[in-house]
Amino acid sequence: MKPISQTKSPRRQRPLHISAEVVTFAIASLIVAILVGLVLFIWATQSNEDPILAVNRNGDVHAERGYYYVPFSVTNVGGGTAEAVEVVAELRRNGEIEEEGQQQIDFLSSQEEQEGVFIFEHDPGQGELTLRASGYRLP
């Protein structure tokens, strides 16, 4: 017979217990790691190009209550961000500016588009209408 001190009792394995704190820490760490990864990805792939602005007419000119409404869009097709984008519309007849308007778009990031409307007293169909971006500020 063996002495009692030398006998090995079978070990009982306790079930693995993960506390709520460990689960919360793991989820929070994963979220932080994803955010850091996204920031690094954006930083690494960000272009150093200047903003390039394209202004286009959207739709037809429509008249209402004696005014002519000209819808337009401005798109930043470049890589950088532009602030305080100035858009100018000029209506010319016989080579002279008959009417002009200006609008300012506060902010255009890369590939972003904003829409607006110019309002004229004279019919743009009776002259030459030019829409263009006249300037912007770098952030």
For residues 74 and 116, membership in a common domain is answered with: yes
The pLDDT tens digits of the residues spanning 28-76 come to 999 999 999 999 987 777 667 889 999 999 989 999 999 999 999 999 9
Range of the domain at 98: 53-137
Please give the C-alpha separations between residue 107 and each of 26, 83, 112, in angstroms, as whole numbers: 38, 4, 9
For residues 125 and 58, membership in a common domain is answered with: yes
**Which amino acid, one-letter code, is at 135?**
G
The pLDDT tens digits of the residues spanning 61-117 come to 999 999 999 999 999 998 888 999 999 999 999 989 999 999 999 999 989 999 999
Is residue 7 pLDDT above 60, yes or no?
Answer: no
**Which amino acid, one-letter code, is at 115?**
E
For residues 89 and 24, membership in a common domain is answered with: no
Is residue 6 pLDDT above 70, yes or no?
Answer: no
11 assigned to some structural domain:
no
Domain count, the chain: 2
Residue, of 81 and 5, whose pLDDT is higher:
81
For residues 37 and 59, membership in a common domain is answered with: no
